Structure 1
Amino acid sequence: MPPPPSPSQDWNPPNTLLPGPVFSQVADHKQKPATYQQLLDNGEVLMVPIGDARMDKEGAWWKILLSGAVAGTVSRTSTAPLDRTRVHMQVYSSKKHLMNLLGGLRSLIQEGGFRSLWRGNGINVLKIAPEYGIKFLVFEECKAHFGESSNPIFQEDVLAGSLAVAVSQTLINPLEVLKIRLTLGRTGQYDGLGDCVGQILRREGPAAFYRGYAPNMLGIIPYAFTDLAVNKMMNNIRVKSRGDNEEHSQAYNIYTQTVSTVCGQMASYPLTLLRTKLQAKDTVEGSKPTMRAIFRDIVAEQGWPGLFRGLTPTLLKVIPAVAISCTVYTTMKSTLGV
């Protein structure tokens, strides 16, 4: 667990590194309200804990971000096979060719061997540092503009977190497109990242790097508010019971954050699916797919359940990703002396 802050600090300590919205901590009615926030990460599990980055230690912020980057690298690499299977199920599964989790894994191994399960993971790891660095900087700038408070206004946290995600995803979207193309690539299709960039530019033009931008931005809304609603509801239940000790309280928070993240991902999943399909589309033949057209095609061919293709591997990776990122993050902080 992250070490507790000094008594001079006016925010309550986080329980652990957990997924959740930017305003995930719900304060106990008998305690001073916490100003600890976490940055929402639509579709991924790792969070950068802002509360940790505000510690009163000279230069501690870069150690916190480095710890988060390393934790994200290990976590995403460990769950990469599930992520690649998810993308294939989202793009290639159809009513005539239903693809389940085991079938998807089997087909990927048959096509490219066991190592192919990690195809596209390099770019996924590469985007961690700029992604979280941008989120952190934008979030801090917004909070500075609003003014610091021991009891931050709910709307301010919502706006700061949403802007942080929006700016980050705007700048990172080209890397997301490259990740999807490399993940879906057949063996030998691309000779590395540079070749993938070149092929996209030659065939589709620069605009292709912003495929899926609209559903990506829209997905922030249902994810954030579902995550928040479930988190608040479960924490209110805990506050009313109040029969738990500290250890049970921390375990309950882990459970709460995991459940709220799963619910948030389920609420935003159709938009995540649309984003992936848009980013995967190759316009070599001149087609220009739109979000509305893809939505109509999915519902017409597969029905409403088609909007949730690939949800199983998405949910299966939540628990291991949380456990791995927590462990690696705490170890890195200890190693760096934070």
Structure 2
Amino acid sequence: MILETANAQDARVEALWSQLDTRKQGHLDLNGLKRGLRKIDHPLKNADHLLKDVLKSVDADGNGEISYSEFHQFVRQTENELWQLFKSIDRNSDGRLDKGELRTGFLRAGLRVPDSKLNQFFSEVDSNNDGVISFEEWRDFLLFIPAETPSLKAVMSYYSSTVQMNPEGDVAVNDELINGLGYFAAGGVAGIVSRTTTAPLDRLKVYLIAQTSTAETAVQAAKSGAPVVAAKQGAKSLLVASKELWAAGGMRSLYAGNGLNVVKVMPESAVKFGAFEASKRMFAKIEGHGNPRDIHTWSKFMAGGFGGMVSQAVVYPLDTLKFRMQCDTVSGGLHGNKLIIATAKKMWMKDGLRSFYRGLPMGLFGIFPYAAIDLGTFEYLKRAVTVYNAEKRGCHEEQAEPGSFMTAFIGGFSGAFGASLVYPLNLLRTRLQSQGTVLHPRTYTGIMDVTRQTIKGEGVRGLFKGLTPNLLKVVPAVSITYVVYEKSKQALELH
């Protein structure tokens, strides 16, 4: 042990025991240990879950109490392990640790600790604020670390647990909770900006999906000298559809349903990204390392799927109302709030609450693979670019994340890839939601019926109707969403 005789160590341990054993009973149970740690203002004083592990580590005979001899043996063994760990970090062997040595030690241990957390940890351990950590400071701060052989991973896990308790002994509003709320806020802002920007393309997509006329009918109408009928009955081109939407109400028609969309998208995006980040943390704990950045690729895809399903279920009634409102927007008809109220009343009068949830199973079935592919692919590619940049620049990953252009490119690719694969499910779900409207008067009995009628009337190609405007909307929408989301996370200092 460093510059300390056995007698000096015994005296120090005995003095510490005397402070912990506040009632001078000669032994400590869990409550007694908590009282003693509060007296010396130790970081573990309110961390009940860790104290139970400490008690088990010290209590050699397993009787639920710590005797002085057990405590003395625990301290000697733990201090020796901490000394070995300290020496492995102290590369210049000067008996002091600076931030550079600590950062290098964490990197060698496979831990990429953000600078903000490293600085916070360093200031906590450096009790005399002299800019370096002595072994005495290191030892006193980490003495009760619940690990047989302390490692830097155990140290960081221990530290993260101790800083989450408030003076009353309750779990404080810690970084993880604050970050969780921040992810919801960042997701909500990203959704609003993205949906408002691409609202006309979304309107065009829904309009085309609602068209069910067959190409054969259009051909027959053209042959019989009825080009107007052919144009109405045939699959609408983008140009024709755009002209008809403009004729139905100008710019207002292109943004029909956007107010409702904004009301819908804020909780949708907030819940999607919030649930996604929460799922990543859950999988990180399941995998045993606790770092959401390092979860397995399949875990990222599963987390994305869960996030998508939760958000879809939360906002599905508003989604259905929006689709039906868009399909009831015609020239000379109701617009704005009047149309929203009229559409909602019509839905309620026809089938009650069930009207708002038509196609939900298909929606959840379709959103899981889409969200999994979209969010999972984005996270995978972003991580790959970040690691590449960090290695190329020789810096921490925090300083190597993709810029706005690369983020937009990755987001657009992941969104288009996911949307293309699950588009048929999205089309069938939209038709179930919009059935019985002015633009889509046809009705269905369920998922199998809408599938059968679509393929029978329009062929397999009918399952991909509106894909082009959908991709024209998805690529910029998802790109904008991810750029705004990542920038919002940076502004909120989320990691």
TM-score of the aligned structures, taking structure 2 as reference length? 0.50
Q: Which residue of 2 aligns with 1:280?
A: 434
Structure 1 stretch displaced more, 257-266 or 130-139:
130-139
**1:152-191 deviation line (CA, Å, top 9, x unaligned):** 3455444444333223222221111101011111343462
1:88 to 207, 217, 221: 207
Mapped partners of 1:304, 1:74: distance in 2: 35
Q: Which residue of 2 aligns with 1:74?
A: 193
Instruction: Give the counterpart letter for 1:122 in structure 2.
Output: G
Matched, 1:311 2:459: no
Give the Å deviation of 1:149.
Answer: 1.6
Q: In 2, are the aligned partners of 1:213 and 1:275 still within 8 Å (CA)?
A: yes
Mapped partners of 2:383, 2:489: distance in 1: 27
Question: 2:455 is paired with a residue of what secondary structure?
Answer: helix
Give the Å deviation of 1:102.
Answer: 1.5
Aligned positions, number: 291
Question: 1:127 is paired with a residue of what secondary structure?
Answer: helix
Mapped partners of 1:234, 1:143: distance in 2: 15
Q: In 1, are the aligned partners of 2:415 and 2:475 still within 8 Å (CA)?
A: no
**1:235-279 deviation line (CA, Å, top 9, x unaligned):** 879989x99779996555543332232111000000000000000
Q: Which residue of 1 aligns with 2:359?
A: 212
Matched, 1:271 2:379: no
Structure 1 pair 244–141 and aligned structure 2 pair: CA distance change class (3 A): closer
Extract unaligned runs of 5+ from structure 2: 1-112, 119-172, 219-233, 394-398
Matched, 1:65 2:208: no
Instruction: Give the counterpart letter for 2:290 in structure 1.
Output: S
Mapped partners of 1:327, 1:231: distance in 2: 13
Q: In 2, are the aligned partners of 1:71 and 1:329 still within 8 Å (CA)?
A: yes
Give the Å deviation of 1:101.
Answer: 1.4
**1:39-59 deviation line (CA, Å, top 9, x unaligned):** xxxxxxxxxxxxxxx994994
Fraction of identical pairs, as percent: 33
Give the Å deviation of 1:226.
Answer: 4.8
Mapped partners of 1:330, 1:308: distance in 2: 31
**1:287-308 deviation line (CA, Å, top 9, x unaligned):** 5432212212221222111111
Instruction: Give the counterpart letter for 2:448 in structure 1.
Output: R
Q: Which residue of 2 aligns with 1:301?
A: 457
**1:198-252 deviation line (CA, Å, top 9, x unaligned):** 1111123221111111221121344256555798699879989x99779996555
Instruction: Give the counterpart letter for 2:264 in structure 1.
Output: K
2:238 to 98, 101, 105: 101
Which structure dedicates a bigger proportion of its chain to helix? 2
Matches within 5 A, 1:112-123: 112-123=249-260
Q: Which residue of 1 aligns with 2:290?
A: 149
Matched, 1:178 2:315: no
Mapped partners of 2:181, 2:427: distance in 1: 34
Matches within 5 A, 1:157-172: 157-172=300-315
Larger radius of gyration: 2
Q: Which residue of 1 aligns with 2:410?
A: 256
Structure 1 pair 286–111 and aligned structure 2 pair: CA distance change class (3 A): closer
Q: In 2, are the aligned partners of 1:204 and 1:283 still within 8 Å (CA)?
A: no
Q: In 1, are the aligned partners of 2:412 and 2:474 still within 8 Å (CA)?
A: yes
Instruction: Give the counterpart letter for 1:195 in structure 2.
Output: A
Extract unaligned runs of 5+ from structure 1: 11-53
Q: In 2, are the aligned partners of 1:64 and 1:333 still within 8 Å (CA)?
A: yes
Matched, 1:194 2:341: yes
Give the Å deviation of 1:112.
Answer: 2.1
Structure 1 stretch displaced more, 143-152 or 293-302:
143-152
